[in-house]
Structures are given as C-alpha cells and as structure tokens.
Amino acid sequence: MGDLKLPGIDYAALAPMLILFGAACVGVLFEALVPKTRRHGVQLGLALVSLVAALVVVIWIRDKRLVTIGGAVAVDGPTLFLQGSILLLGIVSLLLIGERSIEAGGAFVSQAAITVGSQKDLRQAGGQPGATEVYPLTVFALGGMLLFVAANDLLTMFVALEVFSLPLYLLCALARRRRLLSQEAALKYFLLGSYASAFFLFGVALIYGFSGAVDLASIHTAVADPARSEVLLFGGLALVAIGLLFKSAAAPFHVWTPDVYQGAPTPITALMAACTKVAAFGALLRVLYVAFEGVRWDYQPVLGVIAVLTMFVGAVLAVTQTDMKRLLAYSSIANAGYLLVGVLALNKEGLSSTMFYLVAYGFSVLAAFGIVSLVRDAEGEATHLSRWAGLGRKSPLFAGVFSFILLAFAGIPLTSGFTSKFAVFGAAIDGGQTWLVIFGVITSMLLAFPYLRVIVMMWLQEPGETTPAVSIPGFYTSAALAIGVIATFALGVVPAPLLDLTNDAAQFVR
C-alpha cells in the first residue's frame, strides 16, 4: 500500500460527489419552481445528466492517488472503481425509477402524507402522477454512497452513512400500492438503521479513545504500536463492524432486509440491492484493509463465522419463501456472505475479486427486479410465487430472461455469477480461508434449489386463472433489462477486461 498525502483540497478529486450533491440541491429547487406537469421529465433528465457527468469525471481522474480535505477523503484505485460502479448501477436504477408506462402514474405515490385507505388515497392510486421528489432524494443517496466509499476517517464515514441512509428511509415509504406495507418497511428500516448508526458512532468513540484519532492512517499506526488498552480497540472495531454489516445485510444484522425489500417500491429495492451493497462493502474493505490490518488475525475468525452464518441463513431461509421479493432478499443476504468470503481473503486478489463480484451481482439483481416490476395484475405487482406458475407459457421471452438471471444467481457457468464466485473463492483459498470456501460451495448448492423451483414453476406448470400477465416494458425498463442481461452474460463469457481493471485498482493509499 502506498503512503501519499497532499496538502490542500483537490476539487477535481471531489468533483463526482460535488456534482451529485449540487444536482440534488437543484432538484429540490425544481420541485418548487417547475410546474407539476413537467417535473417528471425535468427531474429525471437532471438526475441522469448529473450521474453521467459524475461518471465522466471519475473516468477522467482515474489515475489520481491522493488524500485530500485534511485526510478526510482518499481518492485511490478502490475509491474510483467503486464510485464508477455506483454511478453505473445508479443510472440503471434511475431508469427503473423513471418508468411511468407500466403503471399509470408510476411506482410512487403522489402524496405520501395522505391517509392510507382514504378516498384521496384511492384516487391517487388510480393514476395520479407519482412524486418527483424521488429523483433528488435518489441523487442525494448516491452522492452519499460516493462519499462513503471514499471516506478516510470514521467521522466522515458516519456523515456519509447518514447522508445516503436518510433518503432511503423516505424512499421506502413511497410505494403507490400496498401503502401500509411500504410505510411499515420504511419504519423498520429507519429504526433498525438508527440503532446500527448508534453502534457505529459509539464504536468510533471507543476507537478514538484507543488511538487518539479517527483517520484511518493514524488508527493503523496506533494498532501497530498500541499505547492504550486493546479492549477499546476490539470493542470499537466490533461496534463499527456492526454498523457496516447492517448495511451489508450480513447475519445476524440482516433482519430488516426481507421486510424492507418486500415493502419498498420495487425500483428502490433494486437501488438498495445493487448500489447500497457496493457502498457498504466498499467502506468495509477500506476499514479492514487500511485501519485494522494489524489485527487481522484477531477479527478474521470472528468475521468468518459471520460469513458462514450469513451464507446459511440466506440459503436456508430462501428455500421457505413464498414471495418473490423476499426470495430475492434472502438471495441478497447469501450473496453478502459470499462477498465476505472475498473480503476475508485479506489480500490483493480478495480486494479485486470482491469489487468484481459487486459489479456482477449489481447488474444481475437490477435485471431481476426489473422483471418483478413487470409481472402484475389489476392490483399491482404479483409477487407471490404461486402466481408465477405457467408464466413461461404466457410470456416466454421474459420468463426466459428471468430464468437466465436466476441461473446466474445460482452460479451456472457462462454467467457472471459463476465467474464472480470462482474469483472470490479462489482469492479465499490463496488467503488460507479454505474452510470458508467449503461452506460457500455447500450453501451455493442449497441456494440453487429455490432458483430452480421458480424456473420449474414457470416452465413446467400450466398457467392458472390467477397467473398474471407480463406488462409490456417501457423504454426505460427495456433499457435497464437489456443492460443487466448483457452485463450478466458478458461478465460470464469475457470477464478478463473487468478482472484486469479491478486488479489494477486494488491498491489503497493512506
């Protein structure tokens, strides 16, 4: 790892974050100044342009390696790669969020404050234009994620955690259909997220008591030559890890995930499944690889047990699910366990393979939720598994696409799921964590069952009276599906370019 510090502030390095935060503020102003009939197009355009502009800047500064703002932000290979990944996945997520042709008015409620079940609520569910506040909120959240993966001290990391979490709490409550379920999901996410943030902050206090600083380089130095009780060190590390593992949906801090994934609007669920996971694991990698590298032998077995528990909880409970969104939620939990296997390799290959896995899984899960948003009846999305029986007979194209994505989740060759699992397992073996790989292979076989059950249900059962139709996707959803499927196939067949990119980027600076 390089040791490089530059004085002053490098605004070019901060430009991607500044662009998103600025665009989000402009979006808030547009809510007050632009006529309601034109807000959707203006806000969606602004959000997409800001993300594309930020991505262009990330590519432009790809060779920067520095620490800026007094050591608060580090711009290095992992930062830039993860920021680019968040922006790419965020663009695809925005396409799903911006879709209005599948359901009249879109997936989002027009006014969140209206009492559920009232006449006004029934009228707005019937097709009133959805809230356009979702766009600045989404951009704020993505900006917070960019800062989260770049944070080089724990207080900046905490601020970034809150910046991207608070908009997500609000977005989860804005579903047009099943409003009570959506509001319940948002409340659970908010309460449990608040507890996790409190654990994180208390951990920061303990680590400050141990090291006398909150920047990761100083913590690394204090860990190498401890001058105070190591009880503070390990207590602080445990509490900080709880906050990060909560966002990663790792067991036993996963309990929010199924309820929130089920209740939130499906485009927001897709955003959380793809982008939030990249941000959470990006921060976890930086904390473990930069600040606490000196105590790796102490936390590695503990986090290894959490990885095994996460894989088993996700795989076993996925088998029992009867709702498609909850099934994908437990799939996400299991994939968090596989990502932890890569993290715990604690070598360059582990870092690069984890980053590859995050991108590969992100595109696949966006395509999966894109399909879920299309399977619907007069009441909205039909997410109960029994409703998907015979779907392959009614809509063979979309059933085929969904089957391909499920096979990718199962890790079948020629898909990104196989390549990414092979990469993280190989890195773990090189890092001496063969026992984790054994559990990973076992849980992968268990997790294949619910995926194959859905495929069998779609293709080998006759359509019933309750089998819903698949809506014709609009342009935005079609584009999101095409990007997700192409990326899933391409990263399974020709993964070398992205693997080379992640390998080149796998170098932290302090």
pLDDT in tens, 32-81: 888 877 888 899 999 999 999 999 999 999 998 889 888 899 999 999 99
Q: In a 10 Å sphere around its CB, with 0-12 CB exposed, 13-18 middle and 19+ buried, how is residue 475 labelled?
A: exposed
Mean pLDDT of the chain: 91
pLDDT above 70 covers a percentage of the chain that reads 97
Report how far apart, in Å, the C-alpha atoms of 433 and of each of 239, 294, 344, 503 are.
Answer: 24, 18, 8, 20
pLDDT at 19 > cutoff 80: yes
pLDDT at residue number 127: 66
CA-wise closest residue to 361 among 334, 388, 381: 334
In whole angstroms, give the CA distance from residue 99 to residue 108: 10
Reference 495, options 438, 420, 432, 436; nearest CA is: 420
477 vs 225, more confident: 477
Instruction: State which of 1-10, 368-377, 459-468 shows the largest mean pLDDT.
Output: 368-377
State the pairing for strand pair 375-377/73-75.
Answer: unpaired
What DSSP element (H or E) covers 361?
helix 348-372
pLDDT at 369 over 50: yes
5 pLDDT tier (thresholds 50, 70, 90): very low
Strand partners, 73: 68, 151
Q: What is the DSSP string of 217-277?
A: HHHHHHHHS--S-HHHHHHHHHHHHHHHHHHHT-TTS-THHHHHHHHS-HHHHHHIIIIIH
| Strand stretches in 371-494, DSSP E | 375-377, 380-381, 469-470
Question: What type of residue is 461?
Answer: Q
**202-229 pLDDT, tens per residue?**
999 999 999 999 999 999 999 988 878 8
Report the pLDDT value the prediction gives residue 179, as an integer from 0 to 100: 86
Question: How would you label 25-34 residue by residue, b for 16+ Cβ within 10 Å and e otherwise?
Answer: eebbebbeeb
DSSP character at residue 294? G
Q: Are 478 and 404 in contact (CB under 8 A)?
A: no
Task: Tell me the two tokens of residue 496.
Answer: 């070398």
With CA atoms as reference, report the closest residue to 101 among 138, 130, 134.
Answer: 130
The answer on pLDDT for 183 being more than 60 is: yes
Contact 395, 432 (CB under 8 A): no
Cα separation, 289 vs 145, in Å, equals 19
179 versus 168: which is more confidently predicted? 168
pTM of the model: 0.94
Q: The tokens of 107 are what? A: 């997936």
Q: Can you give the pLDDT at residue 480?
A: 95
Read off the pLDDT of residues 130-169 as tens digits, 9 standing for 90 and up: 778 999 999 999 999 999 999 999 999 999 999 999 999 9
Min mean pLDDT across 138-152, 268-282, 319-333, 367-381 is at 367-381
Q: Is the pLDDT of residue 442 over 50?
A: yes
By the 10 Å C-beta count (0-12 exposed, 13-18 middle, 19+ buried), 224 is classed as exposed
Query: Would you tell me the crossing angle of helices 324-343 and 230-248 to the nearest 10 degrees?
Result: 140
pLDDT higher than 60, residue 1 = no
For residues 246-257, average pLDDT: 92
- pLDDT (0 to 100) of residue 164: 94
Residue 3, pLDDT score: 44
Q: What percent of the chain has pLDDT over 90?
A: 73
- With a cut of 90, say whether residue 351 has pLDDT above it: yes
Q: Which residue, 442, 403, 419, is CA-closest to 314?
A: 442
Q: Above 60 in pLDDT, residue 172? A: yes
Identify the DSSP state of 108: B
Place of tokens 């047990």: 305
The alpha helices in 3-118, defined as continuous H runs, are 11-33, 36-60, 77-98
Cα 293–Cα 232–Cα 226 angle in degrees, nearest 5: 55
pLDDT at 190 over 70: yes
- Reduced to 3 states (helix: H, G, I; strand: E, B; else coil), residue 172 is coil
Give the pLDDT confidence of 261-303 residue by residue, as tens digits. Answer: 999 999 999 999 999 999 999 999 999 999 998 898 899 999 9
pLDDT-derived band at 4, boundaries 50, 70, 90: very low
- Helix ranges restricted to H, 253-347: 256-263, 266-271, 277-286, 296-319, 324-343
